[in-house]
Structure 1
Amino acid sequence: MTIKSASETLAKPVNLRIREDVRAVIDRAARIRGKTRSDFMIDAAYRAAEDTLLDQTLVKVDAESYRRYLAILDKPPGGEGFERLMGAPKPWQS
Structure 2
Amino acid sequence: MQETIKRQAPINLRALPAQRALIDRASQICGKSRTDFVLEAACREAENILLDQRLFFLDEQTFNAFEESLLAPVKDNPALRKLLASPSPWE
2:40 to 28, 40, 43: 43
**Structure 2 CA distance for aligned equivalents of residues 10 and 31 of structure 1:** 21
CA distance in 2, matches of 1:54, 1:26: 25
For residues 40-91 of structure 1, the C-alpha deviation after alignment (integer angstroms, 9 at most, x for no partner) is 0000000000000000156x98xxxxxxxxxxxxxxxxxxx59xxxxxxxxx
Cα 1:10–1:33 change in 2 (3 A) is: closer
**Any unmatched runs of 5+ in structure 1?**
1-8, 62-80, 83-94
Task: Decide which of 52, 55, 63 is 1:55's aligned counterpart.
Answer: 52
Identity of aligned residues (%): 48
- Structure 1 outlier segments of 4+, above 2 Å: none
Aligned: 1:29 with 2:8: no
* Matched residue count: 55
Provide the alpha-carbon RMSD of the alignment: 2.4
Task: Kindly indicate which of the two structures has a greater share of residues assigned to helix.
Answer: 1
Mapped to 1, the partners of 2:54 and 2:42 lie a distance apart of 19
Q: 1:56 to 1:14 in 2, by over 3 A?
A: same
Larger-Rg structure: 1
